[in-house]
Structure 1
């Protein structure tokens, strides 16, 4: 078994009015999240973000469309998922990116990873996320991209 690298990306996909795309995890119905995924050996983080978005949603955006927030989070890997990492690896470093689409679109989820998707206003999306890092990134959207959208 090849172990996952404990470095990943979180990509918050949203519209200009801050509707956020969330995906429901296959192995955990009711767990909603943005696109996430581990970096592969030798892969720049931006390419990890592009690859994961393409694999999980079918969206094939250019590298210039992604914004690297220059923000990383360190979190403890859930015990049930540690077997995918080398023995003794307990933490992951997650790098935050965003991708703004002109409007909501239909996506094609990877059925081995996600049951479905939904677009939600940013506050509802943040409340629906099981991950604190994902919630915090979504809550930061109005300050980063659309202060006029914050009341909604």
Structure 2
């Protein structure tokens, strides 16, 4: 009988910021990490063989319970993260020092979010309140770009 092994972590990261429309306002979902207490958007890695879209949708489902038909909107925001932040870096090339983080927004209007064990809570915030809770530049840039694109009406899948 074949042995099942966990997929190997690829050197790639995704970040997804869920938002919802509440009348004329927009709110943003942030998740409090159970290990550090930091507030952030949905983040996670891709597995070897996964496309960026597959990894993004899987992380959205795993960390927030967003439905499979929720479209992630790719953003121009991006970042790199030192490989030392990831346990899997020991399996990557020793010449790799930083991995790319690809950023997305996701319309969660009308959906109920759930928590993975990675988080202790999830809350909806206004732009200013979310900005004050975020410590990572990539999260703040993603929040800003999502807000600007929603204002301009050009958030496209």
Q: What does residue range 46-65 of structure 1 map to in structure 2 within 5 Å?
A: 46-62=53-69, 65=71
2:82 pairs with 1:76? yes
2:47 maps to which residue?
A: 40
CA distance in 1, matches of 2:41, 2:97: 22
Q: Determine whether 1:99 maps to 2:106.
A: yes
Is 1:129 aligned to residue 134 of structure 2?
A: yes
Larger Rg: 2
Stretch deviating more after TM superposition (33-42 or 124-133): 124-133
CA contact (8 A) 1:127 1:135 kept: no
Alignment match of 2:12 (pick from 1, 7, 32): 7
Q: Secondary structure at the match of 1:146?
A: helix
CA distance in 1, matches of 2:75, 2:144: 14
Counterpart-to-counterpart distance in 1, 2:132 and 2:99: 23
TM-score by length of 1: 0.81
Structure 2 stretches lacking a partner, 5+ long: 1-5
